[in-house]
Amino acid sequence: MGTLLSTANGEMTDQQIRYYEERAVGGAGLIITEFTAVDYELGRGAVNQLSIDEDRFIPGFRRLADAIHTYGARVFVQLHHAGRESNSYLTGGKQIVAPSRLPVKQLVKNRGS
C-alpha cells in the first residue's frame, strides 16, 4: 500500500502524518506504514515513495510516532526494496538491483515462450 504523499525525495509530509493519524483517531491499535524504501536510489518502486534509508528521515518518523501515540496506537514500518519490480525511470537509468537482470515484464513474457 502506498499513499505516495511523501516528497519527491522520500521524506514524510504533514499530509502523510495526518493520513495515519486519522486511522489512529478511528481506533486502530497498530498502524503499518506504506511500503518504505530501504534503498531510495536503486530500490524504489514508485515516485514519491516513503524512504528510511538515511538518518535524515528519522525526524519525520518521530513526528509520525508522536502523532499516533497520542491516540494509543503503535507504528510498524513496512520495509521495501522493489528489486526487479523497479525500473530505469525510478533508478535514474541505473541497472536495477535484483537476483535477476530481467525486469518483471521480460520474465513474464519469457515464461510463456
- One-letter amino acid at 62 equals R
3-state secondary structure at position 16: helix
**Is there a contact between 88 and 94 (Cβ–Cβ < 8 Å)?**
yes
pTM: 0.84
* pLDDT given at position 95: 84
* pLDDT given at position 42: 92
Distance CA 42, CA 37 (A): 9
* pLDDT given at position 49: 96
CB within 8 A of 107, min separation 6: which ones?
Answer: 84, 100
Task: Decide the pairing of beta strands 74-80 and 50-51.
Answer: unpaired
The 8-class DSSP code of residue 111 comes to: H
- Per-residue tens of pLDDT for the chain, all 113 residues: 899 999 999 999 999 999 999 999 999 999 999 999 999 999 999 999 999 999 999 999 999 999 999 999 999 999 999 998 888 889 899 988 888 766 666 555 555 54
